[in-house]
Structure 1
Amino acid sequence: MDTNTIINFAPYLLIIAVFYFLIMRPQAKKRKEEKEFADSLKVGSKVITTSGIHGKVNQINADKGTVMIETGAGKMTFERSAISAELSKKLNEKVITKEN
C-alpha cells in the first residue's frame, strides 16, 4: 500500500471511529447498566416504569422475567426491562434528599 491509498481511506476510518465512540459505545454501556439494574431489583424498591408509572416492587418472578409493582391504583405486572433505571435512580435520590 502506498501513502496515497492510506490518505484516501483516512476520512472513512475517521468516520467509523467517530460513529463508534459517539453512538455505539454509549448505547452498549447504557444497555449494560439497564441490565445490571434490572437484575439488582429487590422487593420493596421504589421504581418508575418507562411509561411513567410510579410504584414499589411487590414481587419478582425470575422465571418469567416479570415484576409486580404496587401502585396507588393496585398491583400491576411488568417486564423487568420496562423498569427505567434512570428514572428510578432520580426517584430514589429525591427520596434520600427529602429524608435528610
Structure 2
Amino acid sequence: MASSLAAGFILLTGAPSGNSTSSLLGLALPFILILGIFYLLIYRPQKKREREHQELIDNLERGDQIVTIGGIHGTIREIDDDSVLAQVDSKGVKLRIDKQAIASVGGNE
C-alpha cells in the first residue's frame, strides 16, 4: 500500500531528475491550486456579499422597514451620512443606528 502511494506521488510530481524547472513546478502547483480554491470558495463570495450590502445601504429610504444585525426591527425616519434614525415601536421610541449595522431591508410602510 505504501509503495503504491509513493509510486503515485512520484508519477504525480515527476521522478527526481536534473531538471529543476519541473521539480519547482511540482512544488509550486499544489500551492497555486490551494490559492485558486481559496479565491473561488472564500474571497469571491465575500466580496459579492460586501458589494450587495453596500448597495443595500446606498439605497436606504425614509419609511423602509429594517432589521439590524442585533435583531432590532424598526422603520427609518431620518437618514444621515453614516447612521439612520429608526422608530422601533408604536409609542415613538427612536434609536440612532449605524448604517453598517443594518442587516436587511423590508418593504415600505
TM-score for both structures, normalised by structure 2: 0.73
Question: Which protein is bigger by CA-based radius of gyration?
Answer: 2
Give unmatched runs, 5+ long, in structure 1. 96-100
How far apart in 2 are the matches of 1:40 and 1:30? 15
- Percent sequence identity is 30
Q: Is it true that 1:36 corresponds to 2:78 in the alignment?
A: no
Cα RMSD (Å) of the superposition? 1.7
Q: Deviations over 1:72-98 (max 9, x none)?
A: 16100011111113xx3xx54xx9xxx
The residue type equivalent to 1:48 in the other structure is V
Query: Which SS does the other structure have where 1:43 is aligned?
Result: coil
Give the residue type in structure 2 aligned to 1:82: A
> Paired residue for 1:54?
73
Moved over 4 A (4+): none
* Corresponding pairs, count: 87
Instruction: Tell me: higher relative CO, structure 1 or 2? Use CA pairs within 8 A at least 6 residues apart.
Output: 1
TM-score of the superposed pair, with normalisation by structure 1: 0.79
Deviations 1:8-60 (A, max 9, x none): 21101001111111111111111111111111100000110010001111100
Question: Greater helix percent: which structure?
Answer: 1
Q: Secondary structure at the match of 2:70?
A: coil
1:26 to 45, 69, 88: 45
